[in-house]
Amino acid sequence: MTAVLEVTGVTKRYGSLAAVQDLSFRLEPGTVTGFIGPNGAGKTTTLRMCATLELPDEGEVRIAGRSALDDPRAARRVLGFMPDTFGAYTNTTVAEYLDFFARAYGLAGAERREALQSVVDFTGLAPLVEKHTSVLSKGMKQRLCLAKTLLHDPKVLLLDEPTAGLDPRARVEFRDLVLGLAQLGKALLVSSHILTELAEFCDSVAIVERGKLVAAGRIDDVQGGLERRQRVRLRVLGDPRAASLYLAEQRNVTAVSQEPDHLRFELDGDERALAELLAALVSAGLQPVEFSREGMGLQDLFLRLTGREAAQ
Amino acid sequence: MKVVAEVAEDFGDRWNPLLVKELRQSMRSRGFAILFLGTQLVAAAIAALVLAVGTSEPGQALLMALGTCLVISAVGVVPVFAFLSFTQEWDDNTHDLLVLSQLGPGRIAFGKLKCALLQVALLSVSFAPYLALGLLLEGVDPLLPITLLFTVAVVSAGSSCAAIALAGVGRSRGVRTVLLGLFTVASLGMCVFWIVMLNGLVTTSALLREAAFWGWYSAALLLVVYSAGLCFLGARAHLAHPEEAPTLPARAVAAGGALLLPWLAYAVPATAAIFARSDALVATATFFVSLPALISFSTERERLGRVLERRLPKGLAARLLLHPLLPGGGRGALLMLLVAVLIGTSAVGANKLFAPPVGLISAALATDMAFYVALVAYFWIYTSAASLLTWRLGEKLGWRWVARLSVPVLFLGGTLAGMLIGNVIGDELMAEGGHLMNPFWVLFELGRTKTEDSLPGLLAISGVLLLAQVPRWVRGVADAERASRAAQRARA
Ligand SMILES: Nc1ncnc2c1ncn2[C@@H]1O[C@H](COP(=O)(O)OP(=O)(O)O)[C@@H](O)[C@H]1O
Ligand SMILES: [Mg+2]
């Protein structure tokens, strides 16, 4: 499939700090891509570069086959960017806010009325159109922002931390909106610093840490690649130190830690490697009484990928 | 009902969306309503007072009081509203949303300007009845109220352009606050200046029947319109995508205006008699009006534009020749040089064409040019020093401001240092400011005596500064070469 957004080797420096380094990824129509990384990883910077608000020092951003850097106005016609801060005018109602942006996108007459009607219906804002923007709840503001972003029917949607600060219910509703947009054939890039929030509705993920891409691809592949690493809990009869020494000598074993009555370690390999290790332990006379694999959840994977300080 | 509403809405389609939006907002906000009603009340009170007290010249008294009132609201307050309206876009986080829309930088800036113009129009219309009342009283030239309204409208629009340009720079809240402070002070200054000017005109309205007055008047308004145009283009540049030297239009106007203004001033026939003897005045005024733009160009530090980079001829020789013209290549300083040469030739040419026999036409071209050469040399000295500073320190935005401030600092510092040295070595003339590094003195002397004693010294300093730019150009060319090779590799 052809990519509607193609980012290649993009780098952005602020003084000596490289906020984004040699980042590459692509979005396809009808897919949702999670863009995940801890705070300060460079997500916002990347999204702003894709949205033509910032110019990369190196690299290229292509939207619908054309360079967004050479022709930003053409790119802006097909992309919708929803920033992480809600931008709304004071003294404005929901209807006026949407009407203003519809005009600003060059929609006129019946075309404008149709566009307004369809985004209001899609985001379920109809009961609120006469309300002032300042009295909306966080979830409703987020919907209004999305409605504004959808007015000119963009092909690519860049949403910066759209779920931050939403209560669980609003989050579920927002997820449904995003899935609905993907079904309409739009390509979505949704950033977040919490992986689990996105895992349930993303087709693929790109994980960044300190401006660098650490993993990217379909969510199963990323997970599968990481699952080659298994965490194992082991308890042996007798002195655990002997087992610890033995494990330390194995090539595919890492991160051995000794706790009062058991050991933990990580094994680089699949289930066969696990079985082989158990057999080797027994034949070395170590008498295992407990040998169990501990699951790695998505959040664990993320923590492993991005270092301990990440998460929330 | 629905049909009526739709027709009304579609009528708005032809308007700038920003104007529609701000109109809606202002119906709910109190700022302009208070200003409007306040000035109405004051105007009514003034009219009543003048009629009741019965001064010797009631028409003049009324016009002076009303004029003051109108200037304060239109020149003092409306531009500050324009400033706040623009910074509100930063505060509301809507600036980026506007930039991303299909409005484009020109229509955004123009939309904001139109809002200010509409406010001034409303104010002017509301003052019209009182001004008409002034006409009915004795001692008022009918041209006076019209001149008053027109002047206030033009000056207010010009100030609003400056407000929008300044507000566009204020991405950070701190900078915004400082700029608002500066702009408010400047607006007050403008108010005082135009109140004095217009009140002076009211008391000596016989001037309105003299051609020479209209010459001066049009020259002054021309300068206002010209600086407003520069400010508008600056505002537009800040709103544009950080692509392809967005300051190019502003540069073009800075250069073109400097070229054209002396011509226009001479071309107004009535003014020729005055300007033939003070061409230096027009040129200097033009130059000072363009100076902020020129300082800003000479302290720019951008990378080469992408499109520019691709189209640039390859090869070391071409690069060396072209680099000084490109962003970050010291082109601000070079542009200065070009502008100054343009001003000089343009003014001398215009003088030859329009000046009456008593003017400079009898003097040799070399002495004509001396004044302009000196002007060029001074601006080159100050801005190229700033440009060099930017090159060395300009990575951080804060340092760019240091470089910008260095222009007036160098200017004042040079003047004071010369006086100090004069005091120390006991040279009386130097101690009083009669020395090379006091541009005012040198230019004044040159304009008066048409001798060029100081020129060799000035040219020597300029030459040294030109040589000091060479390493930067060489390095810049090498950097550009490296970057374009890297880009080629990336593409391959
Ligand atoms: N305008 C800027 N000037 C200087 N540094 C910046 C600027 N914008 C972002 N940064 C820095 O770039 C890094 C990445 O920021 P950002 O993209 O906002 O991260 P994220 O959105 O992933 O939290 C941060 O270290 C931040 O301090
Ligand atoms: Mg962010």
Tell me the pLDDT of chain B (492 aa) as tens digits: 566 667 767 777 778 888 888 888 877 777 788 888 888 898 889 888 887 887 777 888 888 888 999 999 999 999 999 999 999 888 888 988 998 999 888 899 999 999 999 999 998 888 888 888 888 877 778 888 889 999 999 999 999 998 998 888 777 888 889 889 989 998 999 899 899 989 888 888 888 887 777 777 877 787 788 778 878 887 887 787 554 445 555 666 666 666 566 556 555 555 555 555 555 566 666 666 666 666 666 666 555 556 566 666 777 777 677 666 666 666 666 666 666 666 666 666 666 665 544 433 334 555 666 777 777 788 778 878 877 777 777 666 667 677 777 888 888 898 899 999 999 998 888 888 888 888 888 877 876 776 667 778 888 888 888 788 788 777 877 777 777 777 677 666
Domain boundary among B161, B186, B204: B204
Is the Cβ–Cβ distance between A104 and B101 less than 8 Å? yes
CB contact (8 A) between residue B100 and residue A51: yes
CB contact (8 A) between residue A88 and residue B307: no
Kindly state whether residues B238 and B336 are assigned to the same domain: yes
Q: Would you tell me the crossing angle of helices B211-239 and B248-267 to the nearest 10 degrees?
A: 180
Q: A72 in contact with B at a CB cutoff of 8 Å? A: yes
What is the residue-wise DSSP string for A115-128?
HHHHHHHHHT-GGG
pTM flag (> 0.90): no
CB contact (8 A) between residue A89 and residue B97: no
Query: How are beta strands A204-209 and A156-159 bridged, if at all?
Result: unpaired
Other CB atoms closer than 10 Å to residue A257's CB: what's the count?
A: 10
Other CB atoms closer than 10 Å to residue A124's CB: what's the count?
A: 14
Q: Is B3 inside a domain boundary?
A: no
CA distances to B121, B124, B253, B266 from B225, rounded to whole Å, are 17, 19, 12, 17
CB contact (8 A) between residue B102 and residue A59: no
Kindly state whether residues B190 and B301 are assigned to the same domain: no
Kindly state whether residues B442 and B314 are assigned to the same domain: yes
- Give CA–CA dist A24/A7, Å, rounded: 5
CB contact (8 A) between residue B24 and residue A92: yes
Give the minimum alpha-carbon distance from A109 to chain B in angstroms, rounded to a whole number. Answer: 5
Residue A149 in contact with ligand 1 by CB distance below 6 A: no
Which H/E stretch holds residue B339?
A: helix B331-354
Of B475, B480, B469, B472, nearest to B313 by C-alpha is B480
Contacts of A76 in chain B (CB under 8 A): 100-102
Contacts of B109 in chain A (CB under 8 A): none
Kindly state whether residues B233 and B124 are assigned to the same domain: no
Kindly state whether residues B98 and B219 are assigned to the same domain: no
Domain boundary among B204, B225, B243: B204
Residue A21 in contact with ligand 1 by CB distance below 6 A: no
Contacts of B88 in chain A (CB under 8 A): 89-90
pLDDT tens digits, one per residue of A128-179 = 999 999 899 888 999 999 999 999 999 999 999 998 888 888 888 888 999 9
Identify the three-state secondary structure at position A92.
coil
- What's the pLDDT at B331? 62
What is the residue-wise DSSP string for A68-83?
TTT-HHHHHHHEEEE-
Residue A37 in contact with ligand 1 by CB distance below 6 A: yes
The structure tokens listed for A175 are: 């997820």
- Give CA–CA dist A32/A242, Å, rounded: 49
Domain count, chain B: 2
Q: Is B291 inside a domain boundary?
A: yes
Of B44, B46, B47, B53, nearest to B136 by C-alpha is B47
Residue nearest to atom 11 of ligand 1 (CA): A19
Residue nearest to atom 24 of ligand 1 (CA): A40
Amino acid in the structure at residue B229: G
Residue A212 in contact with ligand 1 by CB distance below 6 A: no
Residue nearest to atom 8 of ligand 1 (CA): A45
Determine the distance separating the centroid of ligand 2 and the alpha carbon of A69, expressed in angstroms.
Answer: 21
Determine the Cα angle at B387 with ends B333 and B413, to 5°.
Answer: 100
What is the residue-wise DSSP string for A200-239?
TT-SEEEEEETTEEEEEEEHHHHHHHHHTEEEEEEEESS-
Q: Greatest CA span in chain A, whole angstroms?
A: 84
Query: How are beta strands A156-159 and A187-192 bridged, if at all?
Result: parallel
CB contact (8 A) between residue A52 and residue B100: yes
Kindly state whether residues B341 and B419 are assigned to the same domain: yes
> Starting from the edge strand earliest in sequence, which strands make up the sheet with A156-159, in order?
A79-82, A156-159, A187-192, A32-36, A204-209, A212-218
Alpha carbon distance, N-terminus to C-terminus of chain A: 35
Kindly state whether residues B420 and B296 are assigned to the same domain: yes
Tell me which chain A residue has its CA closest to the CA of residue B100: A76
- Give CA–CA dist B456/B476, Å, rounded: 30
Residue A38 in contact with ligand 1 by CB distance below 6 A: no
- What's the pLDDT at B208? 84
Residue nearest to atom 7 of ligand 1 (CA): A14
Q: Is B6 inside a domain boundary?
A: no
Of A129, A99, A93, nearest to A111 by C-alpha is A99
Determine the distance separating the centroid of ligand 1 and the alpha carbon of B172, expressed in angstroms.
Answer: 15
Kindly state whether residues B198 and B335 are assigned to the same domain: no
Q: Tell me the sheet residues that pair with A291.
A: A234
Give the minimum alpha-carbon distance from B87 to chain A in angstroms, rounded to a whole number. Answer: 12
- What's the pLDDT at B73? 92
Kindly state whether residues B253 and B129 are assigned to the same domain: no
Q: Is B10 inside a domain boundary?
A: no
Half-sphere exposure of B269 (CA within 13 A, CB side): 0
Signed CA dihedral, B20, B25, B31, B37: sign only: positive
Other CB atoms closer than 10 Å to residue A169's CB: what's the count?
A: 9
Residue A253 in contact with ligand 1 by CB distance below 6 A: no
Contacts of B103 in chain A (CB under 8 A): 104
Tell me which chain B residue has its CA closest to the CA of residue A108: B13
Residue B335 CA, distance from chain mean position: 17
Domain boundary among B159, B187, B204: B204
The structure tokens listed for A107 are: 């929609």
Give the minimum alpha-carbon distance from A91 to chain B in angstroms, rounded to a whole number. Answer: 6
- Give CA–CA dist B121/A157, Å, rounded: 42
- What's the pLDDT at A225? 64
Kindly state whether residues B186 and B218 are assigned to the same domain: no
Tell me which chain A residue has its CA closest to the CA of residue B483: A58
Determine the Cα angle at B105 with ends B101 and B108, to 5°.
Answer: 75
- What's the pLDDT at A38? 86
Q: A83 in contact with B at a CB cutoff of 8 Å? A: yes
Q: Ligand 1: which atom is nearest the Cα of residue A41?
A: 22
Kindly state whether residues B224 and B178 are assigned to the same domain: no
Contacts of B307 in chain A (CB under 8 A): 70
Is the Cβ–Cβ distance between B84 and B169 less than 8 Å? no
- Give CA–CA dist B338/B174, Å, rounded: 36
The structure tokens listed for A43 are: 């997500």
Predicted ipTM of the assembly: 0.78
CA R_g for chain B? 26
Domain carrying residue B386: 210-492
Q: Is B9 inside a domain boundary?
A: no
Q: Which of B21, B99, B243 sits opposite A100 (nearest CB)?
A: B21
> Starting from the edge strand earliest in sequence, which strands make up the sheet with A17-27, in order?
A17-27, A5-14, A58-63, A66-67
Q: Is B1 inside a domain boundary?
A: no
Q: A153 in contact with B at a CB cutoff of 8 Å? A: no
- What's the pLDDT at B219? 72
Other CB atoms closer than 10 Å to residue B379's CB: what's the count?
A: 25
- What's the pLDDT at B296? 65
- φ/ψ (deg, to 5) at A87: -100, 110
Residue A162 in contact with ligand 1 by CB distance below 6 A: no
The structure tokens listed for B278 are: 């003070």
Q: A100 in contact with B at a CB cutoff of 8 Å? A: yes
Q: A105 in contact with B at a CB cutoff of 8 Å? A: yes
Amino acid in the structure at residue B432: E
- What's the pLDDT at A303? 67
Residue A41 in contact with ligand 1 by CB distance below 6 A: yes
Q: A269 in contact with B at a CB cutoff of 8 Å? A: no
Is the Cβ–Cβ distance between B232 and A58 less than 8 Å? no
Kindly state whether residues B330 and B194 are assigned to the same domain: no
- What's the pLDDT at A73? 85
Is the Cβ–Cβ distance between B428 and B435 less than 8 Å? no
Half-sphere exposure of B480 (CA within 13 A, CB side): 30
- What's the pLDDT at B243? 46
The structure tokens listed for A153 are: 């029917």
- What's the pLDDT at A281? 86
Other CB atoms closer than 10 Å to residue B376's CB: what's the count?
A: 23
Determine the distance separating the centroid of ligand 2 and the alpha carbon of A51, expressed in angstroms.
Answer: 14
Q: A148 in contact with B at a CB cutoff of 8 Å? A: yes
Residue A42 in contact with ligand 1 by CB distance below 6 A: yes
Query: How are beta strands A5-14 and A17-27 bridged, if at all?
Result: antiparallel
Q: Is B279 inside a domain boundary?
A: yes
- What's the pLDDT at A311? 39
Query: How are beta strands A262-268 and A288-294 bridged, if at all?
Result: unpaired
The structure tokens listed for A140 are: 């409703």
Q: Which residues contact B350 (CB under 8 A, 6 or more apart)?
A: B262, B263, B265, B266, B267, B279
Q: Is B23 inside a domain boundary?
A: yes
Which H/E stretch holds residue A6?
A: strand A5-14
Tell me the pLDDT of chain A (312 aa) as tens digits: 588 999 999 999 887 889 999 999 999 999 999 998 888 899 999 999 999 888 888 888 999 988 888 788 889 999 999 998 888 887 889 999 999 999 999 998 889 999 999 999 999 999 999 999 989 988 899 999 999 999 999 999 999 999 888 888 888 888 899 999 999 999 999 998 877 777 778 888 898 988 999 888 887 777 666 666 777 888 888 788 888 888 888 888 877 888 878 888 888 877 788 888 888 888 888 888 888 877 555 566 666 666 544 333
